[in-house]
Structures are given as structure tokens and as C-alpha cells.
Amino acid sequence: VKSLGEEAKVRVRSARRDAIEALKKAQKDGDITEDDLERDEKEVQKITDKKVAEIDQHIASKEKEITTV
């Protein structure tokens, strides 16, 4: 269960990296401002943190479920 959870967290972090790279490219291309970039990066990080916490909670729940059986 832990390894599956770690894989999920790696995928979430990879998606964060891809999103931030896309935002930086958009800012470089002039599609968004530097302020937009900073705000959007913070939003992406907030979503990432939330999803990682959900994964951790799910792992803990499943481990507890497995150990009680």
C-alpha cells in the first residue's frame, strides 16, 4: 500500500512540475504576467499539497484497515 501511495505522490509532483513549467513558458511568451505566474504557482502548490495529504490519509486508512483484518 505504501509503495502505491508513493507512486501516486510522485505522479502528483510530476504533474505539479509540468504545470509550473507550462506557466513559466506562458509567462516567457507573454501570455501571462509575472504576478499571474506567481499567483498560479502558489495555487498549483496548494492543490499539490492538498492531494498529497489526501494520499497520505488514504494510505493510513488502508494500512489500518489491513492490520485490523
**CA distance to 11, 38, 65, per residue, from 33 (Å):** 28, 9, 48
Q: How confident is the model at residue 69 (pLDDT cuts 50, 70, 90)?
A: low
pLDDT given at position 1: 84
Mean pLDDT, residues 53-64? 95
| Span 4-58, pLDDT tens digits | 999 999 999 999 999 999 999 999 999 999 999 999 999 999 999 999 999 999 9
Grid coordinates belonging to 18: 509540468
- Predicted TM-score (pTM) of this structure: 0.85
